[in-house]
Structure 1
Amino acid sequence: MPPLPLPATPLRRSERKREPAPPALVGMITFPGSRFVIENGQRVAVEMFPTTQIDIERLTAYANHRLGIRYRYVATTLESFSWDPVELPLLYITGWTPMPKLPDETLDRLRRYIYDGGTLVVHAQCGRKEFVDTARRELARLFPERKLAPIDTDSPLFRSYFRITEMKVRQDDQPFKSMPPYLEAVYIGCRPAVIFSPIDLNCGWDVVNHPIMGGILYHQDYALAMGTNIVTCTLANLKYARAFATEKIFHGTYEKTRDRLVIGQIRHNGDWDPTPHGLPNLMKYLAASTTLNVQFKRDTVDLTEDKAFDHAVLYMTGLRDFKFSQAEVARLRTYLSSGGVLVADAAAGRRAFDAAFRREIKRVLPEAELKPIALDSPLFEAPFKVRTADYTEAVKASQPELNAPHLLGIDMEQSLCVIYSPYSLGNGWEQIAYTYNLGFSDEDALRLGVNVLTYAVTH
């Protein structure tokens, strides 16, 4: 018989126990495989998709130090990864050669991972065009119906820890120049679920500031600040992302004995549906809180379609800039002039949508002015008498004196035809806590929403 193994040597009382490994936050994706090239007349195997890990290691260490947290990164592959965002909340892909074309099955699993609450960060090492172009191709395949677009400068990604108003960037061997912060994203709800940088970040994380011919990169200090903000947002959005993924959208049952009011939600060329659970939840709350013998239902509409005029109330929201076409401007003007009501709010209170809405509604009704709705308006009288309003912590931090409901409107023939909130209503209607929401508290968002819809259908 083989000898029995020796017993484990017990620790002396003076010896410190090894601390458990910190939880993993970032999964650095590597792509296995190699190809052969000829170097100095010899056939040499090289990586199919070369990448580096020292950059994410140093960013993780820097973020841990600045934020007072304790996380680690791990190297993994798309073949071995569990696809569980609880295990790895953030996946990271970078490279300087063309990004491999992903199998459809892998794209399906990656898409599910992101919808389940995961975040994908992709950026071009050295800003190489060959990686940028192929990464855009893969992201378009990943979300063909969701637009990868520049992030507005009021995004939490530019203010979550460091307030970033400019970035210093160098192209080739030129001196560093200042530019506005730049990232692109695909949004799921109100969070940037896919974050893409065509400008190099990891050379800065790796403490490299020397020129790279054919490349474009951020200065080290700015790259580290941006990376820390990405980590901060990912951590802050974890609960929101998981709750958003599991929240069910309410669908009312049709009863023939009751009238139906179908509210049309406008599709526009921005992020038109960042709070998909909001309006259905509001309708459910309205049915339970009022005696209106009406069933509410949400429908999505294009302003250029005739069915937009089938709705007594239209609703729109968004996160980013958008622009109506001339045809949409004309149709919305006709709709409002014919007695329709438009209800709108800026999702998460984003300034980019707020500025766009004010600009576009001026195109629709150039002679009208968007004004604060007075507290003695019938809108604030029923079903709930509203004189004060509670806001989210994010609003209180910047405007602690704000305690009245701030809604704007446009009158037409002594009745409001446009009701707009620059503070989010929809996030409160969803009742999914979102750290960066500049809006009304959940309870007051619902109360105001009930009053707004009641006013819209009774005036």
Structure 2
Amino acid sequence: MRKFALLITIGFGMIFQAATAQEIAVLKYKGGGDWYANPTALPNLIRYCNQTINTEINPKPETVEPGSSLLFQYPYIHMTGHGNIFFSDEEASNLRTYLLAGGFLHIDDNYGMEPYLKKELKKIFPEKELEEISTEHPIFSERFKFPNGLPKIHEHDGKRPQALGIFDKNRLILLFTFESDLGDGWEDPEVHNDPPEVRQKALQMGANIIQYAFKN
């Protein structure tokens, strides 16, 4: 796995932090949205990744706030929810530094967060736009093949699933999965009663995302 090495400014000093651990965290954002949604999703995805793609991720994901220096310990940050999102200027700046320095943010719309998210992303990257990711992108073939792109896990508005991203020098640094609801497919089977084949697709796509984030 690549070395996740970042230069972080804390107070008046400079700390060079290098981490090779395969760890992930949930982003605890402000604004009132339920950042804590799908509590069984990431533990199940972690278990699946550890079993199928040879990761060694801590079974219990940590929680991190967007303005915290602890953000830089994690090569993959997960964000989800249904409602409002708010980043302060300081949080947006910290997220920008994290992403440009090698971090990866996966935002999985649990339904209803899109309009709030797009507004807040402008604080992080005023010069960049979300763009649809080609089905030829390696994230769709890291380990499991998705020749048609992002799988549809749950119906909401009857729209097609979209994988949207923000890139820096051809590296995907932010992934927004929309009208798919991967996280619901990662949850315990009894939560949504999804068929095994639907959950399998969700977990496989999640494993692809994790592997891409750890490699790039």
TM range, normalised to the smaller chain?
Answer: 0.7 to 0.9
Give, in angstroms, the shift of residue 324 of structure 1.
Answer: 0.8
Question: Could you tell me the TM-score, scaled by structure 1's length?
Answer: 0.39
Q: Which residue of 2 aligns with 1:274?
A: 37
Cα 1:441–1:355 change in 2 (3 A) is: farther
**Aligned residue for 1:295?**
57
AA at the equivalent of 1:263: I
**Pick from 117, 122, 133: which aligns with 1:362?**
122
* Offset, 1:264: 1.8
Q: Which residue in 1 is equivalent to 2:208?
A: 451
Looking at structure 1, the residues matched to 145 and 121 of structure 2 have their Cα atoms a distance apart, in angstroms, of: 28
Counterpart-to-counterpart distance in 1, 2:207 and 2:154: 23
Counterpart CA distance in 1 for 2:206 and 2:76 is 13
Looking at CA atoms only, which structure, 1 or 2, has the larger radius of gyration?
Answer: 1
Counting only pairs closer than 5 Å after superposition, residues 30-429 of structure 1 correspond to structure 2 as 260-269=21-30, 270-292=33-55, 294-297=56-59, 298-347=61-110, 350-351=111-112, 353-388=113-148, 390-392=151-153, 394-395=155-156, 398-399=158-159, 402=160, 406-423=162-179, 424-429=181-186
The answer to which structure, 1 or 2, has the higher relative contact order (CA under 8 A, 6+ apart) is 2
Divergent runs of 4+, >3 A? 431-435
Is the 2:67–2:92 contact (alpha carbons within 8 Å) kept by the matching residues of 1? no
> Per the alignment, in what secondary structure is the counterpart of residue 211 of structure 2?
helix
CA shift digits 1:196-216 (9 cap, x unpaired): xxxxxxxxxxxxxxxxxxxxx
Distance 1:385 1:393, change over 3 A: closer
Matching residue's letter, 2:133: I
- Deviation, 1:411, is 0.7
1:309-360: per-residue Cα shift (whole Å, max 9, x none)?
A: 111111111111121111111111111121111111111xx12x11111211
SS of the aligned residue for 2:155 comes to: helix
Q: Distance in 1 between matches of 2:151 and 2:214?
A: 25
- Whether the aligned pair in 1 keeps the contact of 2:140 and 2:147 (CA below 8 Å) is yes
Contact 1:260/1:296, CA 8 A, preserved across alignment: no
Mark the CA change 1:392 to 1:376 in structure 2 (over 3 Å): closer, same or farther: closer
Spell out, residue by residue over 1:156-185, the C-alpha distance to the aligned partner (whole angstroms, 9 max, x if none): xxxxxxxxxxxxxxxxxxxxxxxxxxxxxx
> Quick check: 2:153–2:185 contact (8 Å CA) kept in 1?
no
Cα displacement string for residues 383-403 of structure 1 (whole angstroms, at most 9, x for unaligned residues): 0011236534635x834xx4x
Q: Secondary structure at the match of 1:444?
A: helix
- TM-score in terms of structure 2 length: 0.79
* CA–CA distance in structure 2, aligned partners of residues 393 and 308 of structure 1: 30
Shift of 1:457: 0.4
Query: Cα distance, 1:432 vs. partner?
Result: 4.1
Distance 1:448 1:386 in 2: 8
Helix, strand or coil at the partner of 2:162: coil
In 2, the alpha carbon distance for the partners of 1:393 and 1:457 equals: 27
In structure 2, distance between residues paired with 1:345 and 1:283: 16
Secondary structure at 1:453 match in 2:
helix
Secondary structure of 1:419 counterpart: strand
Aligned residues: 189
- Cα root mean square deviation, aligned: 2.3
Letter of the structure 2 residue corresponding to residue 363 of structure 1: K
Amino acid corresponding to residue 408 of structure 1 in structure 2 = L
User: Aligned equivalents of 2:165 and 2:51: distance in 1?
Assistant: 27
Q: Deviation digits for residues 411-448 of structure 1, max 9, x if unmatched?
A: 1121100011113111111144438x9xx942221111
d(CA) in 2 for partners of 1:295 and 1:417? 20
CA spacing shift, 1:412–1:296, aligned 2, 3 Å = farther
Paired with 1:380 and 1:329, the residues of 2 have a C-alpha distance of: 28
Structure-2 separation of matches of 1:302 and 1:393:
28
CA contact (8 A) 1:272 1:317 kept: yes
For residues 136 and 45 of structure 2, the distance between their equivalents in structure 1, rounded to whole angstroms, comes to 23
